[in-house]
Amino acid sequence: MRRLNRKKTLSLVKELDAFPKVPESYVETSASRGTVSLMAFSIMGILTIMEFLVYRDTRMKYEYEVDKDFTSKIRLNIDITVAMKCQYVGADVLDLAETMVTSAQGLAYQPVIFDLSPQQRQWQRMLQQIQGRLQEEHSLQDLLFKSAMRTSVLSLPPREDSPMEQPNACRIHGHLDINKVAGNFHITVGKAIPHPRGHAHLAALVSHDSYNFSHRIDHFSFGEPLPAIINPLDGTEKIAEDSNQMYQYFITIVPTKLNTNKVYCDTHQFSVTERERVINHATGSHGVSGIFMKYDISSLMVTVTEDHMPLWKFLVRLCGIIGGIFTTTGMIHGLAEFFVDLVCCRFKLGMYRPHEAGQVDRIHSNHCTETLAPDPL
């Protein structure tokens, strides 16, 4: 009984076979079907290679959430060269909490020559070209995230020459730890001193003829210095046309978590809007000459993750490509054969052309059938 039940079960399973095989003796081959098969295999090979390259590549996934950390400090990284002597300028930070962070807490003043050497000028042009490309093609930033370029590539190289002229500018570089609230980093005339209502600069001791706020920003960022991020102000150069020039940069900081195959850290990206004007109290343009960077911090945090396609998804897409090409090419070839047979049958072409008397040829087709008279012999 068990063997009988087993045979019935196997017979039932055999009847459910959805992939029956046709014996080779019943298979009819043709040159047209062979050509279509070669084309189908070629297309499948090309698409399979392309799909494999897509599988090996990664994409950057952006997620947004509310930033709940408002008590930590933010590192402000600065490398700015101002076309004034170091004893004439001062830099500090004043935030909305009336907390003053002076340059003595992390900034260095280095006398330098404002004009760049040929090698440094070439580096600056390269950085400006990268900035232009990033503004046109935003997807290039994803490539920088993946590449994790070394910071040495993005730092100003040392001078290769030894000029005889005296330093006429001041390079202010280093970092400051600031509160996570809106504030103002500024470089203006005179050193900063504490004041009951904030702070003040000893500008009265500096001659007005020495005012020159032409400046070059080699690096300006928030958070830990991170490879693969080129900040919007890097490579910026401004030449003042008036001694009372005022430069303003309005910055919006976005906390960012970066998680790639090469880098995992917390940093900050920012966007910036620039404005400049000449201070002239007679015309109603009030203010103080200098460089002012007013920043505000966004309440949203961005998480950037390097995402890889899972293996099961790659296999499903691969099966879809192979099955889809097989089905599509079969349908196209069947339709082509149908129309060719229809035209040939209608106009008596090819195999449907009438034969000479004395020959017997029977043609069976889906569209027409023609029988010739037998040979009288």
- 52 and 73 belong to one structural domain: no
- 149 and 281 belong to one structural domain: yes
- 357 and 265 belong to one structural domain: no
Helix segments in the chain, DSSP class H: 2-15, 31-56, 118-136, 140-147, 311-346
Q: Is residue 229 part of a domain?
A: yes
End of a domain among 298, 320, 347?
A: 298
Q: Is residue 306 part of a domain?
A: no
End of a domain among 298, 330, 356?
A: 298
Number of domains in the chain: 2
For residue 304, the tally of other CB atoms under 10 A from its CB is 19
- 161 and 239 belong to one structural domain: yes
- 270 and 212 belong to one structural domain: yes
Q: Is residue 226 part of a domain?
A: yes
Instruction: Check residue 4 and give its pLDDT.
Output: 57
- 294 and 327 belong to one structural domain: no
Instruction: Check residue 96 and give its pLDDT.
Output: 85
Q: Is residue 239 part of a domain?
A: yes
Domain ranges, residue 354:
30-56+312-371
- 49 and 99 belong to one structural domain: no
Q: Is residue 360 part of a domain?
A: yes
- 279 and 367 belong to one structural domain: no
Token pair 């001193």 in the structure block, residue: 193
Q: Are 299 and 181 in contact (CB under 8 A)?
A: no
**Polymer length in residues for the chain:** 377
Q: Is residue 120 part of a domain?
A: yes
Instruction: Check residue 292 and give its pLDDT.
Output: 94
Instruction: Check residue 144 and give its pLDDT.
Output: 72
- 224 and 109 belong to one structural domain: yes
For residue 41, the tally of other CB atoms under 10 A from its CB is 13
Q: Is residue 275 part of a domain?
A: yes
Token pair 């490309």 in the structure block, residue: 133
The single-letter code of the amino acid at 174 is: G
Q: Is residue 14 part of a domain?
A: no
Question: Measured between alpha carbons, how far is 144 from 135 in angstroms, rounded to an integer?
Answer: 14
- 107 and 42 belong to one structural domain: no
- 279 and 254 belong to one structural domain: yes
Instruction: Check residue 118 and give its pLDDT.
Output: 86
134-139: which pairs have CB atoms within 8 A and are 24 or more residues apart?
Answer: 134/230
Residue of 249, 262, 348, 366 whose CA lies nearest to 305: 262
Which burial class, exposed, middle or buried, applies to 142 when counting CB atoms under 10 A from its CB (0-12, 13-18, 19+)?
A: middle
Per residue of the chain (377 residues), what is the pLDDT tens digit?
A: 566 566 677 677 666 665 566 666 666 666 777 788 888 889 989 999 999 998 888 888 889 999 888 888 999 999 999 999 998 998 989 888 777 777 777 899 999 999 888 888 888 888 888 888 887 777 777 777 766 655 445 677 778 777 788 888 999 999 999 999 999 999 998 887 777 666 777 777 788 788 899 999 999 999 887 766 788 898 899 999 888 899 999 999 999 888 888 778 888 889 999 999 988 888 888 888 899 999 999 999 999 888 888 899 999 999 998 888 888 888 887 888 788 777 777 666 656 566 554 444 444 444 444 444 444 43
- 324 and 218 belong to one structural domain: no
End of a domain among 298, 333, 355?
A: 298
CA dihedral 109, 115, 117, 123 (to 10 degrees): 80
